Every structure is written in C-alpha cells, then in structure tokens.
Amino acid sequence: MKVKRNAQARQALAGAALVALALTACSSNPANTGSGELSGEVTIDGSSTVAPLSEAAAELFSDEQPQVKVSVGTSGTGGGFEKFCAGETDISDASRPIKDEEKAACEQAGVGYVELAVANDALSVVVNKGNTWVDCLNVDQLKKIWSPDSRVKTWQDVDPKFPAEPMKLYGPGTDSGTFDYFTDEINGEEGASRKDYESSEDDNVLVSGVASTRGALGYFGFTYYEENSDKLKALQVDGGDGCVEPSMETAQDGFYKPLSRPLFVYVAKKAVDRPEVKEFLGFYIEHIDEIVKEARYIPLTDEQKRTLADEFGSV
C-alpha cells in the first residue's frame, strides 16, 4: 500500500502543513531524512481503539522502510501505560489522557514522554441490527443501564415502551481507556460500572457479541462501528440538547456530547534518539491525514493540527 501523491491526497495534507514544517525542523540528522534505509524495531502497545491507527501508520511506513519492524500490541490503555512507564515500549496508544498515578510511575522510572493527539473519536453506543425499538438513549438512560447498582435486565426496564427483550451487555475491560472515559462521562465516576457484562480488551470480540445477540447493547470506538455498520446499529445520544448521532462532523464540532474525545499516542523521549523511532514518528505525524483516512478515523481539526505541530517540535 503506497502513499499516493494525487490531487486528493495533496488536498487532504494541506491542513497539515504546519506539522510538516515541524517535521523538517526536527529532522536535521541526515540518517532521518528518509533517503537511507534503516533497520531496527519500534514497539507500540496500548489502546485497542487507537491500534488500527498505529497499524495503518506501520503498514504505510513499511513501504518506505521495510527493514524497520513496527509491532503494535493491544493490552488496553492502562496495560499499555504499565509497559510504557516500565520502559518496555517506545510508543503507547491511549484513548484517554495519562492518569496522575501513571505519570508518577513514568517519572519514577525516568521515562520522559510527549503526548500527541492524532485523531478524534465518537465513542459509539451500538445495538443489534434487529433492534427496531430504540434509536436514541439519553445520558440518564445510559446511566440506568451501566451504573454499578443497575437492576436493568430487559429493555423494558429502561423504558416501559420498549419490549421485555432480555438485554445482553458488551463493553471494554477495566484496562481500557474507553472504559475509563465512558464510566466517567456517563456514570460520573471513572471505573464505576456494573460488572455483569461481557468484557474484552479486543473490540472485535465486542462487535461479534452485539452482532449475534438480538437484545444486545455495547460501546466502543467509532471506527469499529463504521467498519461493521452492516451488522450493527449506532444509537443517537442525547447529552441534554437533543439526540445526536456519532459521526465525523458531530465529533469535530462537539455536538456529540458527552462521548466525543481525542485519541493519543505517547512517545518516550529517549526512544526518539534511535533513528528508526524518530523516522517512524516523523512519518506518522507528517502523513497523519492519510493515516487517519486509511484507518477510517475522525481527523484532527486545524487547531488540533497546530497543537500537534507544536508538540512534535518539542520531541
């Protein structure tokens, strides 16, 4: 899969001009200009939500530097930070900002890092394609379903107008940044959730569960919904201003409340001293629009791109 230089690609990259300038400023080492072939390994772990983005970057990068092995693991945002702060990985994918205790662990281990927002997400609440009785849920209803003391067993428990269809729940595990974000925004406390649901750090497992169960409801990143929209139905969410569907536009403009969010990669500063890591990171940032499009994510706004350029310039 080659990086295309057609008119459409040039137009998509226009908004990232400042990022490219930052890349040029940071790539004074001739070994990192892309003119020579590198070898070595770049290790990435963390969020399963962000993983497809890093995988797309790795695949495109391999066309330019085939001797550099880029591995992408999915142990969840929390699990990824454990490895990252222990010095076991170069880059950590994260679907939420780093926590204070994770910052302390990195500091204690002498792991300096830079946070880079690389895409946006509309965390999607999904049901089975055969669900014909609901198109929108408000935050109070979602809290009623997912709160630690929830007694919801059927759809009728949520709304008397709904059928007495048994509700089967699917969601990310406790190491997931998506779990942290959802519980904080919906239940009002990070980590507060009912425990009697099918959990997995692999979003594909959640997709399969919802797709195969008529009364199912689950939540995960927008990309996984979009890739499986033929067998899933995304619900609109009412955050207080009416029902809004998850989409690129509603995530970027902030209308999809409260479940739109940025997605991050955290880069260890010491790792960037290695030419293969610096080259990969530079490629990732310079081609961010292409990578986001390839992975079917929601792109950064112009303001976010300016911030990305500034943060990349500090590496």
Contacts of 182 (CB under 8 A, 6+ apart): 123, 146, 171, 172, 219, 259
Nearest to 265 by CA among 302, 312, 224: 312
Per-residue model confidence (pLDDT) at position 254: 86
Beta bridge mates, 65: none
pLDDT cut 90: percent of the chain above it: 82
Question: What average pLDDT score do residues 200-215 get?
Answer: 95
pLDDT digits (tens, 9 = 90+) for 294-314: 888 999 999 999 899 888 776
CB-based burial label for 25 (10 Å; 0-12, 13-18, 19+): exposed
* Cβ neighbourhood burial of 17 (10 Å; 0-12, 13-18, 19+): exposed
Q: What is the pLDDT of residues 82-93, one digit of tens each?
A: 999 999 999 999
User: Could you tell me whether strands 40-46 and 91-94 are parallel, antiparallel, or unpaired per DSSP bridges?
Assistant: parallel
Task: Tell me: pLDDT of 22 over 70.
Answer: no
Tokens of 268: 């260890």
CB count within 10 Å of CB 265 equals 25
pLDDT at residue 155 tops 80:
yes
Helices (H) and strands (E) in the chain, counts: 13, 13
pLDDT at 37: 83
* pLDDT tier at 106, thresholds 50, 70, 90: very high
pLDDT in tens, 133-146: 999 999 999 999 99
Residue-wise pLDDT for 58-88, tens only, equals: 999 999 999 999 999 999 999 999 999 999 9
**Element of type H or E holding 191:** none
What average pLDDT does range 151-166 have in this prediction? 98
Reported confidence tier of residue 200, pLDDT bands at 50, 70, 90: very high
Order across the sheet with 136-138: list the strands.
Answer: 136-138, 236-238, 243-244
Distance from C-alpha of 265 to C-alpha of 214, rounded to nearest angstrom: 36
246 band by pLDDT with thresholds 50, 70 and 90:
very high
Angle at which helices 17-26 and 302-313 cross, to 10°: 0
CA 133 from chain center: how many Å? 29
Average pLDDT across the chain, whole number: 89
> Which residue carries 């990435």 as its tokens?
44
Range name among 24-28, 195-199, 240-244 with the lowest pLDDT average: 24-28
Average pLDDT score over residue span 186-193: 96
State the CB neighbour count (10 A cutoff) for residue 30.
9
Least confident of 26-40, 43-57, 145-159, 216-230: 26-40
Residue of 88, 98, 53 lying closest to 285 (CA atoms): 53
Cross-strand bridge partners of residue 166:
154
Q: Does residue 7 carry a pLDDT above 80?
A: no
pLDDT of residue 314: 66
Band of pLDDT at residue 256, cut at 50, 70 and 90: very high
Are 68 and 282 spatial neighbours (Cβ–Cβ below 8 Å)?
no
Q: pLDDT tens for residues 218-243?
A: 999 998 999 999 999 999 999 999 99
> Percentages helix, strand, coil for the chain, rounded to the nearest 5?
40, 20, 35
Query: Which residues are paired to 71 by β-bridges?
Result: 43
Please give the pLDDT value at position 201: 87
> DSSP character for 179?
H
